[in-house]
Amino acid sequence: MKKILTFFSFFSIVFGACNKNTAPPTIQSYMRFKLNGVQVECDSKFGASYKPSVGVDADISFYANWGDNALDFQLFTYTSDIVPGQYVFAPQKAYYAEIWPAGTLTTPGTHPSYVAGSGVPNSSIAGSGQITITEINVRYIKGSFDFITDINPQTGLFMTVTDGVFYIKRG
């Protein structure tokens, strides 16, 4: 009798462990970075463009807000899939970041934006920086970023963004 109970106890432990739901928890979108040395945690309006069902995944934009402030990225290869790797802002590349650290145009007052890179393949770019894609698929885009914007002629200032990380759900 003791052997039978031991056998059933063992059986229930082994098969009970196999029945547990081991699906990973759902990860929420996030974007974190330092703006001029001050830590920022985005808290709303996360988004990333859809992956097309037909054709290449060559144009991606992703963004997030913190309060009424916003940060937006765009990567355009035009002809080939955007894959994991480093995308350095450089002449003749369409890699771009734009930040609104004093609010967006949806609130009253002056709301200058600060730009790094270029949204089209120009011979010159604004500021400097890079976006590193570590994972990308139809569901999300994940990676890191750092950049220094060009001087905004309206304010005479530039912005430094460091230690940026993101995970943004697509679509």
Would you say residue 3 lies in a domain?
Answer: no
* Domain assignment present for 19: no
Contact 70, 44 (CB under 8 A): no
Is residue 88 situated within a structural domain?
A: yes
Model pLDDT, residue 110: 74
Model confidence, pTM: 0.81
Please check the confidence at residue 138 and state whether its pLDDT lies above 60.
yes
DSSP symbols for 90-140: -TT-EEEEEEETT--TTSSS----EEEE-SS--SS-BSEEEEEEEEE-SSE
Q: Does residue 116 sit within a domain?
A: yes
**Range of the structural domain that residue 136 is part of:** 31-156+163-169
The pLDDT of residue 100 is above 80:
yes
Centre a 10 Å sphere on the Cβ of residue 99 and count the other Cβ atoms it contains. Answer: 22
Q: Which residues contact 7 (CB under 8 A, 6 or more apart)?
A: none
The span from the CA of 29 to the CA of 102, in Å, is: 23
Is 13 part of a structural domain of the chain? no
Question: Does position 99 have pLDDT exceeding 60, yes or no?
Answer: yes
Q: In the chain, how many domains are there?
A: 1
Burial class from Cβ neighbours inside 10 Å (0-12, 13-18, 19+) for residue 126 reads buried
- For residue 53, pLDDT over 60 is answered with yes
Compute φ and ψ for 17, nearest 5 degrees. -65, -35
pLDDT, one tens digit per residue, over 21-45 is 454 567 899 999 999 999 999 999 9
Whether 55 is in a domain gets the answer yes
Pairwise pLDDT comparison (5 vs 129), residue with the higher score = 129
What is the average per-residue pLDDT within 47-53?
89
CA atoms within 13 A on the CB side of 128: 0
Q: What is the mean pLDDT of the chain?
A: 86
166 has pLDDT over 70: yes
For residue 87, which amino acid is it?
Answer: Y
* pLDDT at residue 14, as a whole number: 44
Looking at residue 10, what is its pLDDT?
Answer: 44
20 pLDDT higher than 60 = no
**For 18, phi and psi rounded to 5 degrees?**
-70, -25
**Residue 4: inside a domain:** no
Q: What is the predicted pLDDT for the residue at 83? A: 95
Q: For the segment 61-89, what is each residue's pLDDT rounded down to a tens digit?
A: 999 999 989 999 999 998 899 999 999 99
11 part of a folded domain: no
**What pLDDT does 111 receive?**
84
Give residue 104's pLDDT.
Answer: 80
